[in-house]
Amino acid sequence: MCTSFKKDQDELSKSPFEIFPNPSNGTIYVKHAKPANETYNVIASNAFGKDVFRGTFNSSINNNQIIELKNITPGIYTLQLRSKKDSYSERIIIGE
């Protein structure tokens, strides 16, 4: 018996971040839908789990952040955004 699972649209859109463009030339924009007084650690890691970028931003200062990843090798990366309360991740593609 084959069972199909359908995810609710609300479940798919729980992240309060919009990360764009994807694919990117190395400049990533992170837009926080509901800015709060939260400090986020930003970590980009490669397919082997090695961190290639680390940074921080405070979401109360500006709901639009720019992350520069122009000095890393083109490829697929995981971008993680972590605060004391939450953690979000998204795969991003860095091209030339």
CATH number of the domain that 22 lies in?
Answer: 2.60.40.3080
How many domains are there within the chain?
1
Decide: 21 and 30 in contact? Cβ < 8 Å.
Answer: no
In a domain, 55, yes or no: yes
Position 79 pLDDT exceeds 70: yes
pTM of the model: 0.80
Q: Is the predicted pLDDT of residue 34 greater than 90, yes or no?
A: no
Position 34 in a domain: yes
In a domain, 74, yes or no: yes
- Per the domain annotation, does 85 fall within a domain? yes
Q: 59 in a domain, yes or no?
A: yes
Instruction: Provide the pLDDT for residue 85.
Output: 87
Q: CA 88 to CA 15: how far, in whole Å?
A: 7
Instruction: Tell whether the model's pLDDT for residue 4 goes beyond 60.
Output: no
State pLDDT tens for residues 43-77: 999 999 999 999 998 877 667 889 999 999 999 99
Owning domain of residue 60: 15-94
Give kind and range of the element (H or E) at residue 91.
strand 87-94
List all residues 6 or more positions away from 75 whose beta carbon is below 8 Å from its beta carbon.
46, 47, 93, 94
Confidence (pLDDT) at 61:
65
96 Cβ contact list (under 8 Å, min separation 6):
25, 74
